Amino acid sequence: MGRRLGTQVRISCLALNLALYDNLALMSRIMSRFPDPVGALSAPLGELRALGFDEERGRRLGSPGLLEDAQKEFDRLSENGYSLVTLGDVEYPSLLREIFDPPCVLYCLGRPEVLEGPAVAVVGSRTPTPYGRAVAERLAEDLASRGVVVVSGLAMGIDSAAHWGALRGGRTVAVLGSGIDMIYPKEHEKLSEKIAAAGAVVSEFPLGTLPLAQNFPRRNRIISGLSRGLVVVEAAERSGSLISAGFALEQGREVMAVPGNVTSNFSRGTNRLIKEGAKVVEGWEDVAEEMPDPLRERLLAQRPGETAPLPLLTEEEEAVRAKLRADALTPIDELLEGSAMSVSELLAVLLSLEIKGVVAQHPGKAYRRRI
């Protein structure tokens, strides 16, 4: 369609999602049988049974109470500044529309137009090594600075590193495994606000949906569905990131992986993907080469820019920065060794370096150089 659907049809889409968001198989069947959501809500009970509905769910679908609940949901969206993109809207991302089971609706905070991409997903372990975090940040920044939207899942670890890196270079999209009003983990509320300011935070789950474990594998199909390709940075042998890679393959997306230390558990998943045919990624150029034309030509035509200059540093700040590595953590005790600074003086310098974006602090008072 070349337009935005009317309010009542959009409320019907919300009603359909409220009734069936927890059962993708039923959602897919009824959307195939009734492309018009209004028709789906008025389908005879016998026809719903033939599609696999039980008595309770079938009666729920046709009840006046469902539309009332959808109207309340619609009003809450407006009150809280969220937007709604339905499968029938022209704004619905075209790549996501092509997958086998596209979400009926997307709740969105931020700029829905960013969902059209071009996009690449960057995912990985929730407990990455410093190497993995540094690679994710750099890769995301390099891609975003060249106009690629970086998609990830707002989780701890590689996801958050990819979002932060992309924000330094351009735009990013976070796909949630909870309601859009239930940011998870809580520590990423500020990050989600920054993402929404430059890109978008999206969810298919109704408002108030908790971040239940079963939600995350299914949200992964949206991460890959929005993207031209998916890069796994670090992943254990059994990892949610490998589920994302599986979805990407089913959807005909390019699957890529960053090679890692063969003795590290964090690299077993990525190294296995490479053995099975995933493209090896050592930098943004490797990702660009896997994109379809004319996107590939446009990306590769951009010559690597000069290294961004460091912010102005004091002599003390430069001395501390010189002791830090980009691919490993340095504990504060090690930074104190051979230093004339006291603990409080060193912490003040490190805080200043953090504010300038030069270093990142990790749990246990360990630090890593970012630039």
Q: Which CATH architecture has domain 112-300?
A: 3-Layer(aba) Sandwich (3.40)
- Per DSSP, the three-state class of 322 is helix
CATH topology identical between 112-300 and 315-369: no
Residues 6+ apart with CB under 8 A from 262: 271
d(CA 30, CA 51) in angstroms, rounded, equals 7
Check whether 1 has a pLDDT greater than 50: no
- May I ask the CATH class of domain 315-369? mainly alpha
- Mean pLDDT (the chain, rounded): 90
pLDDT 10s digits, 229-239: 999 999 887 77
Which pair of structure tokens corresponds to residue 362?
A: 């990790």
Which pair of structure tokens corresponds to residue 252?
A: 């005909």
**Cβ neighbourhood burial of 117 (10 Å; 0-12, 13-18, 19+):** buried
d(CA 113, CA 108) in angstroms, rounded, equals 10
| In contact, 142 and 150? CB cutoff 8 Å | no
pTM check: above 0.95:
no
Query: Which candidate, 156, 145, 89, places its Cα nearest to that of 120?
Result: 145
Band (pLDDT 50/70/90 cuts) for residue 110 is very high
Selected residue with higher pLDDT from 6 and 144: 144
Give the range among 121-130, 186-195, 264-273 with minimum mean pLDDT: 264-273
Domain definitions of the chain by residue range: 1-75, 112-300, 315-369
What is residue 36's predicted lDDT score, i.e. its pLDDT? 85
Mean pLDDT across 211-218: 94
What is residue 317's predicted lDDT score, i.e. its pLDDT? 87
Selected residue with higher pLDDT from 239 and 175: 175
Selected residue with higher pLDDT from 280 and 39: 280
| In contact, 219 and 153? CB cutoff 8 Å | yes
Band (pLDDT 50/70/90 cuts) for residue 70 is very high
Portion of the chain with pLDDT greater than 90, in percent: 59
What is residue 310's predicted lDDT score, i.e. its pLDDT? 62
Band (pLDDT 50/70/90 cuts) for residue 5 is low
Check whether 360 has a pLDDT greater than 90: no
What is residue 309's predicted lDDT score, i.e. its pLDDT? 58
d(CA 355, CA 291) in angstroms, rounded, equals 35
What is residue 316's predicted lDDT score, i.e. its pLDDT? 87
Mean pLDDT across 221-248: 91
Band (pLDDT 50/70/90 cuts) for residue 2 is very low
Check whether 182 has a pLDDT greater than 90: yes
Mean pLDDT across 16-35: 91
Burial pattern 293-322, b for ≥16 Cβ within 10 A else e, equals: eeeeeebeeeeeeeeeeeeebeebbeebbe
pLDDT 10s digits, 334-352: 898 888 888 888 888 888 8
